[in-house]
Amino acid sequence: MTSPASPPLSATARYTPAITPWRQTVAVLISAGVVAITAMAVAVLAFFIGNGQSPEIVPQLFGHFGLAALVVWVLLSVANGIGATRSWFLAAIAGLVSACLAALFATTATVSAGGNPFTPRIFEAVLASLVSFNLIFILAAIAAEVFLAPRVLHGILAFAPARPPRQIALVRIPASNLDEGELTHLERQPVDKARADEQWDNYCAALVAEGWETIEVDAAPELADSVFVEDAVVMFGDLAVIANPGAVSRRPEVEAVERAVRAIPGVTVERIELPGTLDGGDVLKVESTVYVGASSRTNAEGIRQLRWLLNPHGYTVVAVPITKALHLKSAATALPDGTIIGDPALLEVESLFPRFIAVPEPEGVAVVELSRESLLMSAAAPQTAAMLSSLGYRVVTVDISEFEKLEGCVTCLSVRVR
């Protein structure tokens, strides 16, 4: 049954690539430039209006305030580069100091250009200009540095161009020695290789029929478990975390999967390193929450590394003890609305999930989200399929009985890249 008092789902987290030095430099220069141009424009406009909108005065104004704006741009580029926009107080100080120095420099240059000797009286007049002729420029620079510069800087740093939606599924043809795959919780049964190949073809065809582009990872005929491609990598939008399988025999599977992932445009690759181990089948994503099974294949160090990789991007990693099933997603998966479905007999701590529905068949724990309205699941769980249909989902079923003999499920056979 559904647990009561379900809290609302948190906002979706998003992987944000690291800020490059080039982007940081551009953001600093543009933010300082916006302040300089704003201060110059305000000062020129104010004096133009104050002098009866006389066109003759405009070249003189642009000459003086243009030079001041150039100096402000240089000084604020340095100030913003070392963090002046981190608080309004620092921004105000940076704006005041930069504008005053720029105004003094421009006024001195203007006086010197007129051929006037730089006497103490002229020096006093230059200083006095800070609260007279240059005051509007200084105030405008301070205001722009406080209110505009941080928005421009952070906007450029946070900008991420929208990419077209994608529906890619990485798949891998079954190995010739499929029946030798690792087993943890099931007794070994004979595997019909020809039937397994046919079921894999039908699985891929179901994905294609639902609008997914399938990309085949290079075959590994000698790696028995390589068809279960999900365990080699976990996708978080444009971030691919290359796993480090807990079974030593499965670690050679990773290399070809990583090559396939790197060939997808816009994807950034990180990895789990020894002594950490992590299988993709232990990772269940629900909006901003990432449930990770602490299983025989995923250890504490692997969970710690994943948490370290994801926390900066808004994800919360929650460890889930798993001892009665191979992976977390052998016991539970998620519906598109964030509700967890699973087999309570395979879960130690069901209460970790805010919303949970028990399924009537063990084979019904695993679903693949084809879209917000459609699910892919095993044909071996007709009661679960009927239950999910009654919840408003369109359910597509496939026969994967040969893979279920090897502790596989519909999620294991592909990596969805959205």
What are the residue numbers of the active site?
327, 412
Identify whether 275 is preceded by a cis peptide bond (ω within 30 of 0): yes
The helix/strand/coil state of 390 is helix
Provide CB contacts within 8 A for 336, sequence distance 6+.
369, 371, 372, 373, 375, 393
Tokens in use for 167? 């529906």
Provide CB contacts within 8 A for 17, sequence distance 6+.
160, 238, 268
Q: Which amino acid is at 295?
A: S
What are the distances in angstroms from CA 182 to CA 160, 249, 386?
42, 8, 32
* Token pair 């073809």: residue: 201
Provide CB contacts within 8 A for 266, sequence distance 6+.
163, 238
Tokens in use for 9? 């789902």
Provide CB contacts within 8 A for 294, sequence distance 6+.
282, 300, 303, 319, 320, 321, 322
Full 3-state SS string of 175-212? CCCHHHCCCCCCCCCCCCHHHHHHHHHHHHHHHHHCCC
10 Å CB burial of residue 91 (0-12, 13-18, 19+) is: buried
10 Å CB burial of residue 76 (0-12, 13-18, 19+) is: buried
The helix/strand/coil state of 35 is helix
Closest Cα partner for 101 from 63, 60, 62, 142? 142
